[in-house]
């Protein structure tokens, strides 16, 4: 599994929890037009996160596999080659390092914001899963951390945060039958272009997925062309889009897919594909103060 430099609205990747209780409500936010609540389009329930903490210890915080300082801690295996595509994996310290790999301690660094799922004695149980690791959660000592209160993520705040990035294009539908739907296209220079579908909750976003759908631009097609998506997950290319649905630069090349160009019929197709999948994880995204880009993502396994 390749570890890629990954920026989506300045996001650092972690994980968070969801359930199937249904939607949230936010009447005042809906009246103000800057926050949208939904719970039916993707069957995403409210976040069950307990709170957030920031690591303030200058030396960082070890992430243990159990609420015990004697338990294995998180480390990183790095393929010992000179390449930007070297394999990097997060593991526990008691696992045998394979030949051809280096092993480094993987601390939660000073300034990192962790999502807390619960408490056990002197430890917080925190989410640590990301797209490079199968580890779901770990434990950090409470001392050396302080509580952090997320800010309310609204439609206006989301648009403002993404305006400066010409490789990120987001559409939030604020009225009609798709109210609350988030359609996001992100151009990654190493992995290519990706497409995510989520919903706005009461102050945060939810994306019921662990893997991404990859999309491609082609000057040879005249309309959006879908691939069949297996129920277990994504496919190499979810759809190919034409020039008429692209953000075009002054030099006549695509700067990414424009979700605003999607028709109701195409959105219906996307929703049907999403609804027939069996998602193992859901990603929640929060606006955390004093972090680069502001938005951080947290994954956790569904119930």
3-state secondary structure 8-56: CCCCCECCCCCCCCCCCCCHHHHHHCCCCCCCCCCCCCCCCCCEEEEEC
Model pTM score: 0.81
* pLDDT tens over the chain, length 303 residues: 333 333 333 333 332 222 222 333 333 333 333 444 444 688 887 888 899 999 999 999 999 999 999 999 999 999 999 887 889 999 999 999 999 999 999 999 999 999 999 999 999 999 998 877 889 999 999 999 999 999 999 999 898 888 777 789 999 999 999 999 999 999 887 778 999 999 999 899 999 876 778 999 999 999 999 987 655 655 678 999 999 999 998 888 899 999 999 999 999 999 988 888 878 888 999 999 877 668 999 998 876
CA distance 192 to 167: 11
DSSP-assigned beta bridge partners for residue 52: 115, 148
Domain ranges (residues) in the chain: 27-42+152-283
């Amino acid at each position: 599994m390749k570890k890629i430099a990954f920026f989506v609205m300045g996001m650092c990747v972690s994980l968070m929890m969801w359930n199937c209780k249904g939607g949230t409500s936010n009447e005042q936010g809906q009246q103000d037009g800057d926050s949208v609540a939904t719970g039916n389009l993707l069957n995403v329930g409210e976040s069950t996160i307990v709170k957030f903490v920031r690591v303030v210890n200058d030396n960082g915080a070890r992430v243990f596999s159990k609420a015990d300082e004697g338990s294995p801690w998180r480390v990183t295996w790095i393929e010992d080659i000179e390449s930007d595509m070297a394999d990097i994996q997060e593991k526990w310290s008691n696992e045998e390092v394979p030949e051809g790999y280096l092993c480094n301690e993987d601390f939660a660094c000073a300034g990192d914001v962790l999502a807390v799922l619960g408490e056990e004695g002197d430890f917080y149980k925190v989410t640590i899963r990301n797209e490079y690791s199968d580890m779901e959660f770990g434990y950090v000592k409470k001392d050396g951390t302080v509580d952090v209160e997320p800010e309310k993520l609204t439609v206006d705040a989301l648009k403002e945060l993404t305006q400066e990035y010409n490789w990120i294009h987001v559409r939030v539908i604020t009225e009609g039958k798709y109210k609350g739907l988030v359609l996001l296209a992100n151009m990654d220079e190493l992995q290519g272009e990706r497409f995510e579908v989520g919903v706005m909750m009461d102050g945060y976003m939810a994306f019921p997925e662990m893997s991404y759908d990859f999309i491609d631009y082609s000057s040879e097609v005249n309309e959006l062309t879908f691939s069949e998506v297996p129920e277990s997950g994504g496919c190499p290319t979810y759809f190919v889009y034409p020039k008429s649905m692209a953000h075009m630069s002054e030099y006549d090349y695509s700067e990414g897919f424009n979700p605003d160009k999607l028709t109701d019929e195409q959105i219906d197709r996307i929703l049907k594909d999403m609804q027939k999948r069996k998602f193992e994880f859901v990603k929640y995204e929060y606006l955390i103060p004093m972090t680069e880009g502001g938005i951080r993502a947290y994954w956790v396994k569904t119930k």
